[in-house]
Structure 1
Amino acid sequence: MRPLPAEDPLAGSSIDLVSDCGNCFGLCCVALAFSASSDFAVDKPIGEPCANLQQDFRCGIHNRLRGKGFSGCTVYDCFGAGQKVSQSTFDGQDWRGSADTARRMFEVFPIMKQLHELLWYLTEALALPATEPVHADLRAMLATTTALTEDTADAIAKLDVAAHRAEVNVLLLRASEFVRAGFKSRNRRGADLIGAKLRGSDLRGANLRGAYLIGADLRDADLRSADVIGADLRDANVAGAKLAESLFLTQTQVNAARGDARTTIPASLARPTHWRS
């Protein structure tokens, strides 16, 4: 993630927006449901621990997830919400302690994940020079969202997170427009680009918010300053693509795509191990 100015709310705080599984009680392996599909080998309801979750909250097949039919696990990222809920909201109490703790923890985790995702976007927007006209609003929203993550479990569980997301999104869209102002308008927001042949395309400054790019051919495409917030990049071929300066790109999106050694990504994101060298 781009560095924050020292005066901003997250600078020097205890909030970490990068997943730290070693300080989490395997929440994504218990609190979330998944269905048997190409992404998951079995069905699992909310609240039932994955059969691969060990007593130390580690995954027993972590290095073999894709081969065992759990590629969905290699895509998922919680933006650090797991350790936040485990170590801060519940003060180190794990869900195995009591049924009530488990119920509340599983209720809070998905909401915290959304709040941390919003913090990721706000932090990135605030670090972009072109968004200076809305820096004050971004700082205020960052502080508000940070405060929500620090609230009690009961308060977080009652939060209308959809309404808060909508409020943040208005501000993020304004920030995006400032960044993309110097580019030719390419509004593909929410577009159906499943399997699209976009190899070598100049997509600089494009609005690809919420676009369906599943299986799209984006080899050697230029997505600098393209807004990809919410874009579905599952199985998109991004070999050689320029993604390092894309707006609001997340680890989940990178993990879901298929890249190679030539693909550029932001320094804040990790290069997936399943990408071709």
Structure 2
Amino acid sequence: MPDHIAGRPSSATELRGDCAQCFGLCCVALPFAASADFAVDKPAGKPCRNLGDDHRCGIHADLRQRGFTGCTVYDCFGAGQKVSQVTFGGQDWRTGSKEHARQMFDAFPVVRQLHELLWYLTEALGLSAARPVHAGLRTALEKTERLTRQTPAELAALDVAAHRQEVNTLLLRTSELAREGTRGKNGKKKDRRGADLMGARLKGADLRGVSLRGAYLIAADLRDADLRGADMIGADLRDADLTDADLTGAFFLTQPQLNAARGSAGTRLPESVTHPVHWAARR
């Protein structure tokens, strides 16, 4: 029996979206705004025009070419299958009542936030340098997992921001421990948390052990940059150029962040993520 059904904490593989076990929730529950990422406007709760009756995307292979780049970047961290198969016991939003559908659409973004926290906590527990806070991380992981299994009404009433703050305190300490001893050329561990680095020219930059938590790196030139051991949580990498950059040992780096960036076969990544397919198509 899969871990997510048996009640044990989710494994890393279960914290990745599994569309085959989901009812297309990201294509229905979430709103789209016409932009460079989405070709059309779509309100929350309305199915995307490309969603089929089988909950599959009708243009999945051509999303980028058809103006839906945002869809190729998004990942629910496994929340879609959790809400579909666990919270609602496999009952489709199409076949239930309007109230059933509304509850499902309300629950999905809450569980998605919780699953993102599960991803970070799971990664933090894999960092040997964070052993001093492993006990606290395990407790937070178990609590977060329990929260994902609440009823729709309980999920709707959950103060996700408060829980996220509790977890963030542990993740901040994890970052400090993990970056200890990792220094750039100037011998210091810079804190660039929340920095505005949009379009920054950082080609070949030594960013080892730097905290880039929440930094704005939109369209930044990070070609050949050394990002080993950097804290990447929440960094906005939209259209950032990571060609031949070294992110070995970078932590709290998620697949959606990479999907939003540009890179190459020469970009070195942590084992927890993979090279996006569209990188290979670049010339």
- Do both share a fold (TM > 0.5)? yes
SS in 1 for 2:279: coil
Q: Distance in 1 between matches of 2:167 and 2:236?
A: 20
Is residue 140 of structure 2 the alignment partner of residue 136 of structure 1? Answer: no
Answer with 185-194 or 260-269: which moved more: 260-269
Q: Which amino acid aligns with 1:243?
A: L
What stretches of structure 1 of length at least 5 have no aligned partner? 1-8
Can you list the C-alpha shifts for 1:192-223, whole angstroms capped at 9, x where unaligned?
Answer: 00000001111111010000000000011111
2-structure distance, mates of 1:200, 1:15: 33
Could you tell me which amino acid in structure 2 is paired with residue 176 of structure 1?
S
Distance 2:274 2:50 in 1: 24
Amino acid at match of 1:21: C
CA deviation after TM superposition for structure 1 residue 164, in Å: 0.6
CA drift at 1:244: 3.3
1:266 Cα deviation from its structure 2 partner: 2.3
**8 Å CA contact 1:225, 1:246 repeated in 2:** yes
1:224 to 221, 228, 242: 228
Per-residue CA shift, 1:139-176, capped at 9, x if unaligned? Answer: 11111101111111111111000111111001100000
Q: Does 1:46 align with 2:50?
A: no
From 238, 242, 253, the counterpart of 2:242: 238
Q: Distance in 1 between matches of 2:206 and 2:179?
A: 14
* Contact kept in structure 1, 2:229 and 2:248, CA below 8 Å: no
Q: Would you say the 8 A contact 1:15–1:84 is kept in 2?
A: no
Letter in 1 for 2:160: V
Runs of 4+ in structure 1 off by over 2 angstroms are none
Contact 2:12 2:122 in 1 (8 A): no
SS state of the match for residue 274, structure 1? helix
Summarize the alignment of residues 1-277 of structure 1 with structure 2, pairs less than 5 Å apart: 10=9, 16-97=14-95, 98-182=97-181, 183=183, 184-276=188-280
Amino acid at match of 2:260: A
Matched residue, 2:4: none
Deviations 1:108-133 (A, max 9, x none): 00000000000000000011000000
Alignment-mate amino acid for residue 120 of structure 1: W
Q: Which amino acid in the other structure matches residue 210 of structure 1?
A: G
Percent sequence identity over aligned pairs: 65
CA contact (8 A) 1:180 1:205 kept: yes
Counterpart Cα distance in 2 of 1:133 and 1:266: 23
Deviation at 1:276, TM superposition (A): 3.2
Q: How many residues align?
A: 268
**For structure 2, which runs of at least 5 residues remain unmatched after alignment?**
1-7
CA distance in 1 between counterparts of 2:117 and 2:67 reads 30
Task: Tell me if the contact between 2:265 and 2:280 (Cα under 8 Å) persists in the aligned partners.
Answer: yes
Q: Normalising by the residue count of structure 1, what TM-score does the alignment of the two structures yield?
A: 0.94
Q: Determine if contact 1:40/1:71 at 8 Å carries over to the other structure.
A: yes
- Structure 2 distance, partners of 1:205, 1:179, is 8
Output the CA distance in 2 between the equivalents of 1:127 and 1:268.
11
CA distance in 1, matches of 2:247, 2:107: 32
Q: With structure 2 as the length reference, what TM-score do the two structures score?
A: 0.92
- Greater relative contact order (Cα 8 A, min sep 6): structure 1 or 2? 1
Judge conservation of contact 2:12–2:119 (CA < 8 Å) in 1.
no
The Cα shift of 1:270 comes to 2.9
Equivalent residue letter for 2:221: D
The CA deviation string for residues 218-260 of structure 1, in whole angstroms up to 9 with x for no partner, is: 0111111111100000000001111232110001101000011
Whole-angstrom distance in 2 between the partners of 1:192 and 1:14: 31
Q: Does the Cα contact within 8 Å between 1:40 and 1:70 map onto a contact in 2?
A: yes
SS of 1:16's partner is helix
